[in-house]
């Protein structure tokens, strides 16, 4: 069964319309974690984030204590989930649900800014441009105008150990 078929099943089972950007990234193979896709640089790597396979998203129990009513699509290193609520907002669930962004494209932009600021992995830093290119079609024109020049910068090693494109002060100005 193709990823597109599974995405259709997710929408039918969970009664949600998945964001077009999420669907496009899944079907392009950019939201797979681990294995050859990650090693070959085909995965959209974000800071401290693991994408769930679409089969796991389909099987998700939105009513569980972990998911807090969200349709989870990823988790952080602590096992807290990122998911879609019924309005298509991207939320984060730890002990309670916190809305992170009004839509998936805005959330991607926020996560790129976070990656470009707090990354400590030299391999990821070497692929900042490729990572930005995967996300770019799914960003608003205003967000593209911020990300494009950032992705063209040369990463710098900070005293704190990060290999980044932005200082925390620069990131804070971007919101």
Helix (H, G, I), strand (E, B) or coil at 155: coil
Q: How many domains does the chain have?
A: 1
d(CA 11, CA 40): 30
CA neighbours within 13 Å on the CB side: how many for 105? Answer: 14
Q: What is the pLDDT of residues 46-99, one digit of tens each?
A: 888 899 999 999 999 998 887 889 999 999 988 899 999 999 999 999 888 999
What is 135-149 written as a DSSP string?
HGGGS-HHHHHHHHH
Q: What is the pLDDT of residues 1-51, one digit of tens each?
A: 899 999 999 999 999 999 999 999 999 989 976 665 555 667 888 888 899
| Domain extent for 86 | 3-174
d(CA 109, CA 111): 5
Q: Does the global pTM surpass 0.85?
A: yes
Helix (H, G, I), strand (E, B) or coil at 154: coil
């Amino acid at each position: 069964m193709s990823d597109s078929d599974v995405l259709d099943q997710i929408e039918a089972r969970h009664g949600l319309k998945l964001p077009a950007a999420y669907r496009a990234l899944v079907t392009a193979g950019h939201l797979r974690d681990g294995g050859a896709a990650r090693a070959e640089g085909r995965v959209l790597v974000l800071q401290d984030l693991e994408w769930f396979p679409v089969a796991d998203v389909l099987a998700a129990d939105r009513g569980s204590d972990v998911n807090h009513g969200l349709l989870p699509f990823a988790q952080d290193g602590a096992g807290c989930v990122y998911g879609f609520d019924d309005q298509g907002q991207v939320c984060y669930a730890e002990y309670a649900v916190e809305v992170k962004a009004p839509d998936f494209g805005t959330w991607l932009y926020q996560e790129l800014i976070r990656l470009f600021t707090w990354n400590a992995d030299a391999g990821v830093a070497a692929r900042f441009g490729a990572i930005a290119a995967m996300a770019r079609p799914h960003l608003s024109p205003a967000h593209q105008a911020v990300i494009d020049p950032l992705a063209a910068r040369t990463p710098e090693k900070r005293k704190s150990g990060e290999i980044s494109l932005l200082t925390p002060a620069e990131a804070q100005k971007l919101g």
